[in-house]
Amino acid sequence: MITSPAWKDKRYAVLGLARSGRATVEALLAAGAEVLAWDDNPEAWKAVRDEHRDLMDDRLFIDDFTDWTIFEFDALVLSPGVPLNTHPLAAAAREQDIPIIGDIELFAQARADLPPHKVVGITGTNGKSTTTALVHHILKTAGVPTTMGGNIGLPILEQEPLPEGGVYVLELSSYQIDLTYSLDCDVAVLLNITPDHLDRYDGDFTKYAAAKARLFEMQSPSSAAVSTERERCSDRFDNILERHSDRLGAAVVDGTTYMDTLDPWRQAAWPTLHGPHNLANAAAAIAVAHVLAISDDDIERGLQTYRGLPHRMERVAEISGVAYVNDSKGTNTAASAPALAAFDNIHWILGGLAKEPGLGECEAELPRVKAAYTIGKAGPDFAALLEGRVPVEKCETLDRAVTSAAAKAEAGDTVLLSPACASFDQYQDFEKRGEHFRALVEGLE
């Protein structure tokens, strides 16, 4: 567990008791802080109360957050899933100038008491998890003590401190960046920014982009900045990142510039890193590794042995010469377009809860699509957009789509689940959707 003596005898209100919230409560209590905890789900806060009754006064558990006397706390700690822009407790804290932070900020505060280490922070709309896991894998391959956390794996405060020379690799959503103020990443990575989660930013893409840009704002001047958006940066972000233009697009350490232009032919040696999006992810990971002085041999070995993450262009099976690929993490059109670009003769399963109108960047990849099978709430809209351009079947549900695609696919084709939509109209999350696809494909064998 990661803790800090700076938290001792302070009072924290923790709102949201999912996994990161529970880890936060435990770390604060272990450091000697006084903690009030609450969650919309009564079972969640009762579970925390019962587990830590010996350390927490019953008066610090309440049935209704409106009972909180917010001005008595040193900070309000929000879980990333709690909407910072609309939750009334966050508004009350702002009115009284009480800091609103998250577990990443607590980690940043704890760094001074950890053995000497480095932090890599990775953000972007798409590709964060893959790039984070890839950097982590390359470091492990090179024998560097490392762990990954943030928006992936175990909550960072739940993990054990790394020994001297270790590297913490953090996947950071815009929500998590919103809740940190002192995270000075030794290497900060911005992969891309496309419209997403705009409900948290009052529908304003500029605010969303600014949230991502704060990862660079918090860095020391000599720290490294890596981005695969160099050419599009100023136009796409309305010059929000203009003052970092001398660092973006390359990794810069004390005036030394590192960047890798990768040729697509190199991907043939990387079994789980196909498609142009993974070429960009790999470029960012290689740049990070060079900043951290990892040898070219170790980098290449890491790229060749990286096994990939579930639901991200995951090759589930090959049946009678037909490949079945689970890209359930394709939750918007910008995320699905690279998956389409990675294959030919595609039987494309798409639909769900749309995040934006139209086909977006998927439009350019339609020549690769042999047939489409629409599902979910957005299915009829997608079917109308595709009608007359590719054969379309309105399947409504994933089981019907898989059955139909399997019946029509021929050897050499690819059945691709890359929905370009969120899953919440039919599934708990994209993982459940991907697991269902995997189970349906296994049922075909």
Task: Please indicate, yes or no, whether residues 258 and 334 belong to a single structural domain of this protein.
Answer: no
Residue 393 near residue 294, CB atoms below 8 Å: no
* Rounded Cα distance, 396 and 407, in Å: 17
- 295 and 381 part of one domain: no
Q: d(Cα 208, Cα 125) in Å, to the nearest integer?
A: 10
Query: Domain boundary at 280, 305, 330, which?
Result: 305
**Residue 394, CA atoms < 13 Å, CB-side half-sphere:** 10
Q: Which of 240, 270, 305 is the last residue before a domain boundary?
A: 305
Q: How confident is the model at residue 160 (pLDDT cuts 50, 70, 90)?
A: very high
Residue 22, domain CATH: 3.40.50.720
114 occurs within a structural domain = yes
The backbone torsions φ and ψ at residue 305, rounded to the nearest 5 degrees and listed phi first, read -105, 0
Number of domains composing the chain = 3
Higher confidence at residue 358 or residue 55? 358
Q: What is the 3-state secondary structure (H, E, C) of 106-171?
A: HHHHHHHHCCCEEEEEEECCCCHHHHHHHHHHHHHHCCCCEEEEECCCCCHHHCCCCCCCEEEEEE
Does the pLDDT at position 240 exceed 50?
A: no
Domain residue limits at 90: 6-101
Q: Residue 280 — pLDDT band, cuts 50, 70, 90?
A: confident
Asked whether residue 272 falls in the same domain as residue 338, the answer is no
Whether 418 has a pLDDT exceeding 80, the answer reads yes
Domain boundary among 54, 74, 101: 101
Please determine, for residue 428, whether its predicted confidence score (pLDDT) is greater than 80: yes
Say if residue 194's pLDDT is above 50.
yes
* Mean pLDDT, the chain, integer: 87
1 within a domain of the structure (yes/no): no
Percent of the chain with pLDDT over 90: 58
245 pLDDT above the threshold of 70: no
Residue 232 has a pLDDT of 41
For residues 299-322, average pLDDT: 93
pLDDT reported for residue 276:
82
Residue 361 zone, left/alpha/beta (φ > 0; ψ -120 to 50; rest): alpha
Residue 55 banded pLDDT, cuts 50, 70, 90: low
Residues 50 and 179 in one domain: no
Q: Is residue 347 part of a domain?
A: yes
> Is 349 within a domain?
yes
Q: Measured between alpha carbons, how far is 246 from 39 in angstroms, rounded to an integer?
A: 44
Q: What is the CATH number of the domain that holds 191?
A: 3.40.1190.10
pLDDT of the residue at 320 = 96
What number is the average pLDDT over the span 266-271?
88
What is the pLDDT, as a whole number, of residue 237? 41
pLDDT at residue 337 is higher than 70: yes
Q: How confident is the model at residue 70 (pLDDT cuts 50, 70, 90)?
A: low
* Same-domain status, 143 and 34: no
- Under 8 Å between Cβ of 205 and 332: no
Residues 272, 331, single domain; the answer is: no
**pLDDT-derived band at 69, boundaries 50, 70, 90:** low
Shared domain check, 156 and 250: yes
H/E run at residue 285: helix 276-291
Q: 187 — phi, psi (to 5°)?
A: -135, 120
Domain contains 257 = yes
Please indicate, yes or no, whether residues 299 and 384 belong to a single structural domain of this protein: no
Q: What is the pLDDT of residue 126?
A: 84
Same domain for 322 and 193: no
Q: Is 113 found in the same domain as 88?
A: no
Q: What CATH code is carried by the domain that includes residue 384?
A: 3.90.190.20
Determine the pLDDT at residue 209. 81
Do 295 and 203 belong to one domain? yes
Measured CA to CA, the distance from residue 146 to residue 64 in angstroms comes to 40
Tell me if the pTM is above 0.85.
no
**110, pLDDT greater than 90:** yes
How far apart, in Å, are the Cα atoms of 349 and each of 231, 379, 405?
32, 10, 8
Q: Would you state the pLDDT for residue 68?
A: 61
Answer yes or no: is pLDDT of 354 > 90. Answer: yes
DSSP state of 422: B
Residue 269 lies in a domain: yes
CA distances from 314 to 144, 234, 274, 329 (A): 27, 34, 10, 10
* 423 and 284 co-located in one domain: no
Q: Which helix (H) or strand (E) holds 302?
A: helix 296-305
Burial label, 330 (beta-carbon count in 10 A; 0-12, 13-18, 19+): buried
Report whether pLDDT(62) > 60: no
In the chain, % of residues over pLDDT 70: 87
Please tell me the predicted confidence (pLDDT) of residue 57.
53
Of 14-18, 84-88, 165-169, 309-313, minimum mean pLDDT range:
84-88
